[in-house]
Amino acid sequence: MKKSTGILIIILSGLSILGVVITQFIWIDNAINLKKEQFVDQVQVTLKTVVNNLYTIQNTYENVNMFNPSCNHILDDAKHIVQYPVLDSILASELASIRVKKNYYYAVYREEQNHRSLSGGHIGVYGDELLSSSYRVSLSCLYNHRETYYLSIYFPNQGHIIFKQMINGILISAIFVLIIGFSFIYIIYVSFRQKRISLIKNDFVNNMTHEFKTPIATVSLTAEMLLRDEILTDIPKARRYAKVIYDENQRLKHQVEQVLQIAVIDKGELKIRKKDVDAHKVINDLINKLEITVSNRGGAIKTYFAANYPKIWADKMHFVNVISNLLDNANKYTPDTPVVIIRTRNNKKGLIISVEDNGIGIKSEDQKDIFKQFHRVHTGNLHDVKGFGLGLYYVTLITEAHGGNIKLTSEWGKGSIFEVFFPFNIEVK
């Protein structure tokens, strides 16, 4: 798929999802407005029902003293006395039918010549609001007075009440919108990640082809030279050419083994055979092999062994490969005179080995990816650094498989320090 086509599909998909989200918001807004209208109608019906119930009660029990005479009555009428507890009970019952159980206030007030005065009720601090409330109903059917009496209700948190009644629908809508949005973002993330992995793997295949091609070409050319009669009769030259073939073969073998080890680890078939390993001895052996290469470049390898207990519980082959990778990187990524410093120290649980170099360092934006598979640091003008981008990935997997860890401290242009931790077999006494 072309890049422009992919971007167009992403834009169209994003606009479609944005359209769905906007549509949902419009639907929710319309639903809230409709719910408000329904709520107004329901409250008005509720108030009329309350008055009808009061009317039924007063006509049914006209001559019965069914109310507590110590309670404050709504209106003082010679024939009919309606107590506030009764009104409160009827009102609570009717409001509960429309899912309103609290957060409301009510009052009975008298209106005369544009003047309103409260008579009683559950008023709280909302006297003015109750006098001006649009939720009211006339009590004229109950009382025959020249003044006009009204029953009104006020909801301080009306928006909250409506929202609470709609919360289930809003939540379901929001959940589906979030699922769609998350799925879209995740698909984009996976697509870009797969593309990046594809590019990295292509780069890896190109590097691997080049790395294999070089020793194969060298072996082929050297073998061709060995077939010449004048070379066969010159024993020193023949030995030198044979040594070249041997070294290149070892290099090729090491590269193949590195790729195969990563394949084994990725399959979950890594086998760790642990035993006591003297880390100082392993490090010294590796230094002896690398020192010639470093010395030829005018550099040096320095050691500061401060660990009193250098033995760790590890697979010797993998431990050797870990330290070898770190030393090899310290040499490779130092374009000038290399100075490699190796330090060891103990903590309560094991041995810490640090490998420090004066190389090109690692940029901060690369440090988070340096231990990932196939990742290679951009080295600027340093084009002669070979590798598959598997070394530090392998080091990370092996140290973690041993119950250890690896840390990096680096600054671009000022070198790097890699610290690896390997645990003891037993606690140091």
- C-alpha distances in angstroms, 332 versus 300, 329, 336, 384, 415? 14, 5, 10, 9, 12
Identity of the amino acid at 429: K
Whether pLDDT at 342 is above 50: yes
Whether the Cβ atoms of residue 307 and residue 351 lie closer than 8 Å to each other: yes
Whether pLDDT at 325 is above 80: yes
* Half-sphere exposure at residue 175, Cβ-oriented, CA atoms within 13 angstroms: 6
- C-alpha distances in angstroms, 157 versus 91, 100, 101, 129, 151? 18, 11, 12, 13, 19
Which residues touch 270 (CB under 8 Å, ≥6 apart)? 264, 397, 401
Whether pLDDT at 319 is above 70: yes
Position 70 scores a pLDDT of: 33
Position 265 scores a pLDDT of: 66
- 421 sits in the region (left: phi over 0; alpha: psi -120 to 50; else beta) called beta
- C-alpha distances in angstroms, 14 versus 9, 18, 180, 250? 8, 6, 11, 54
Position 373 scores a pLDDT of: 64
Helix or strand or coil: residue 343?
A: strand
Whether pLDDT at 150 is above 60: yes
Identity of the amino acid at 105: Y
Inter-axis angle of helices 158-226 and 235-266, nearest 10: 160
Which pLDDT tens digit goes with each residue over 384-402? 545 555 678 888 888 888 8
Q: Which residue has the tokens 């092996």?
A: 398
Which pLDDT tens digit goes with each residue over 364-388? 777 777 777 655 655 554 445 455 5
Whether the Cβ atoms of residue 80 and residue 74 lie closer than 8 Å to each other: no
Whether pLDDT at 309 is above 70: yes
Which pLDDT tens digit goes with each residue over 414-423? 888 999 999 9
Whether pLDDT at 276 is above 80: yes
Position 88 scores a pLDDT of: 80
Mean pLDDT for all residues in the chain: 77
